[in-house]
Chains A and B, each alone.
Chain A
Amino acid sequence: MAMKRKDGRSLTDIRKMEAKVGVIPNADGSAMFKMGDTIAIAAVYGPKHLHPQHMQNPQTGILRCSYDLMSFSVNDRKKPGPSRRSQELSKVTQWALEPAIDLQDFPSTVVDVTIQIIQADAGTRTAGINAASLALAHAGIPMKNLVCSIAIGKLDKDIVVDLDKSEEDFEGGEGPTDFPLAKLANTDQYTLVQLDGKIQPDKVKEVLKLADDACAKIYEIQKNALKEIVEQ
């Protein structure tokens, strides 16, 4: 029995996605990533000189990430400026992207990644990571793989892929669960793991399988965005 969700999707369908690179001419790399009604934009500047000197690593370049919501991206206006939530998400985003990149050839430099959410409808950190991964590739940063990110969730007892905001707010039965994940494309390596809610340990295997399938689709979308600017 396949339950239909409010927008007509099956339990395992991802939302309609769109990706575009080169959206910010000033940046060394940039991208927009849309997942349903969630829109993220990312800019990469670097490798570049890092001030102050004590932050430099003479062995390698470093990655610096900043994630935030634009104040009008949510129904209740978010005051501009970093919040505790945005600081946490900036950090987990950095940890999600770092394993994919290799800055050993750029000692003492920094690569700055800035992510802003223009419209928030759940899954903002996953859209941010997808956009940032594209922007890093677009910037020519040495990368082993692209990074793909998706949030798996639960609606009562059912495991679902890519929740939207109305589903994230669902309160019935076992309540809502949000399980954002990110992985290096074409590998079994997970670089973002977070969880918020209630889920039985024996369901984790199913969650990871669904995440794999969803990320494979996201990878195709990312790949096309990078290829289409050349092959037009």
Chain B
Amino acid sequence: MSIMEPTNISKETLKSMLEKNKRFDGRGSMDFRNVEIELNISNKAEGSARVRLGKTEVLAGIKLAPGNPYPDSLDKGNLMVSGDLTPLASPHFESGPPGFAAIELPRLLDRAIRESGMIDLKKLVIRAGEKVWTVFIDVYPINDDGNLLDVSLIACVVALKKTMIPNLKENDLPDYKTPSKTPLPISEETFPLSFSFFKFGNYLAMDPTREEEEMSDVRINFGISKWNGQYMINSSQKSGSSPFSRAELEKIAEILPQKFDEINERIKNYL
């Protein structure tokens, strides 16, 4: 697979296409690629999903294990989000210590999920102050054709929606073998989604393919969900150095709720 960097002519042509609200694959600048979801891809996980967005594919798996609460949140369960950008998905991912992208991805996912309040961590206490459930969310990209963040969050959220809390044996050991009837305490209305926008010269577009990511100047993502009937932005990170103008940030904030509804509709069919 190629690791040739983008050429000057390709960048110029993309610019002229975005001016007419078009991209290489014929999409408009604010169009999302086709979403495909498959649930329960690992029967050893308490919840799991495979999500495809165009050719980008990510697996997410949820595991629950009893653990000690953090000293500053003795009345809450724990949440831990990890991601391994293994060399499966892209020639850019190498074995060894994680590069910045590998560190950033799980942190952004964690923020979007935690701040949305989707999981009621207070209901994950086994014995107050002593034992709580830790929810482990692990994300593995299988093919990187751009926008791993948005796809990964969909995979995490969809997997969480189907996650069951394991039964506990007397000695606080989880019983992974017998089926559980207790779903993870999650709010039905909250459905955190992430939207990544990339900037190219003076143009903005969403859901970049890998080649578009490589041609872009800078990216910004927003995590958005619903809370008490209202749209709430839960997280954001600008990645890269070029600045965004105030007008651009306002335009993005305006378009977020409508995109949230649109993608939510598409995903609902799978749940």
Contacts and interface: CB of A to CB of B under 8 A. Distances in A.
Contact of B144 (A26, A68, A112): A26
Interface size class of B (residues with CB under 8 A): 20 to 34
B86 A71 contact: no
Interface string A40-58: 0101010010000000000
Interface stretch (B37-45, B68-76, B220-228, B260-268): B37-45
Contacts of B57: 24
Interface string B89-127: 111000100000000000000000000000000000000
B42 A27 contact: no
B138 A72 contact: yes
Contacts of B144: 26
B40 to A, nearest CB: 10
Interface string B1-12: 100000000000
B62 interface: yes
Interface in B18-57: 41-45, 48, 55, 57
A interface, by DSSP: helix, strand, loop or mixed? loop
Contacts of B45: 72-73
Nearest to B140: A70
A66 interface: yes
B203 interface: no
Contacts of B91: 26, 45, 48
B217 interface: no
Contact of B145 (A25, A39, A45, A82): A25
Contacts of A48: 91
Contacts of B86: 66, 68, 114, 116
B201 interface: no
A27 B142 CA distance: 10
Given A71-B61, A74-B44, A119-B42, 11 more contacts: A25-B143, A26-B145, A41-B88, A43-B87, A45-B91, A70-B59, A72-B45, A72-B138, A73-B61, A80-B82, A119-B43
13 contacts: A25-B55, A45-B87, A70-B42, A71-B82, A71-B138, A72-B42, A72-B48, A72-B62, A73-B44, A77-B138, A80-B82, A81-B84, A116-B86
Interface of A: 23-28, 37, 39, 41, 43, 45, 48, 66, 68, 70-77, 80-82, 112, 114, 116, 118-120
